Amino acid sequence: MSARALVLTGFGINCEEETAAAFRLAGAEADIVHLNEIFDESRSINEFDVLALPGGFSFGDDLGAGKALANKLLHKRTASGVRFRDEIERFLGDGKFILGICNGFQILVKMGLLPDTAGRGEQEVTLTLNERGRFEDRWCRCVASMPWRTPFLWGISAIELPVRHGEGKLVIRDEVVRHAILSQGLNCLTYCDDAGRPTDEYPHNPNGSQLACAGLTDSSGQILGMMPHPEAYLSVYNHPNWGSGTFDQSSEAGEGLAVFRNIVEHVNR
């Protein structure tokens, strides 16, 4: 049986179709399900192997990107009275996986699921307004930290992906959390310059993120949050320079597809 992915939608999420397409191209079965269907228990996250929180503008970002939906997921109870947060803990306890992209990453951070260095489910970092105070829509180069701490990134050394966000600057609560992120290897994806070196410099780092962070995992490696959009680079033809002759012509797969293939293959194994 192939891996099953749940792609959540509703409340302003708007990248669900691309995210589902990514999982399907990677060989998984993918269902797009409105959050209200989860809350009324007509569907359950426990039917699935991977839970995806796609990008988008949940609640219009009017109260801070991801914060309103994070609070809903933390405190909402399903029809039978179960806290959704408890369902997520059960899901992770069963060894399953969560992917949050852009606004989905912000939701995971504000729920306290990432980086969760102390294991208490407290919010330890935030994603806030870009350093230049404006929405950034550009392609960025990232490097994965090694050894790989999450199967989502296995085998990936460098990856080029688009970013499109106004609030992607990672700010860490204090030095204790910063040290824990570094010592546990949770800063798993960083913006880099043309030489592949992690950087704080604009435009390579589009938002001024501390630690040049483009993605975080938790200590288990089951959760990955990332600001760049891998679901937006599933084919070489998604890249603005695909016709320049610099692409490997042996495959039409875009670099972002590797993130989805990795987790699908891992679950199938």
Residue 244: CB partners within 8 Å, gap ≥ 6?
A: none
Q: Which amino acid is at 114?
A: L
Which helix (DSSP H) or strand (DSSP E) does residue 161 occupy?
strand 158-165
Among the listed residues 142, 231, 239, 255, the single catalytic one is 231
Please report, for residues 8, 61, 73, the alpha-carbon distance to residue 40 in angstroms, rounded to integers and kept in the order given. Answer: 14, 25, 13
* Distance from chain centroid for Cα 203: 21
Among the listed residues 16, 87, 102, 124, the single catalytic one is 102
Please report, for residues 61, 100, 236, the alpha-carbon distance to residue 70 in angstroms, rounded to integers and kept in the order given. Answer: 12, 12, 34
Calpha distance 222→241 (Å, rounded): 33
229 is catalytic: yes
Any alpha helices (H) in 94-215, and if so which ranges?
103-110, 175-183
231 is catalytic: yes
Question: Which three-class secondary structure state does DSSP give residue 207?
Answer: coil
Among the listed residues 15, 192, 204, 229, the single catalytic one is 229
Active site residues: 102, 229, 231
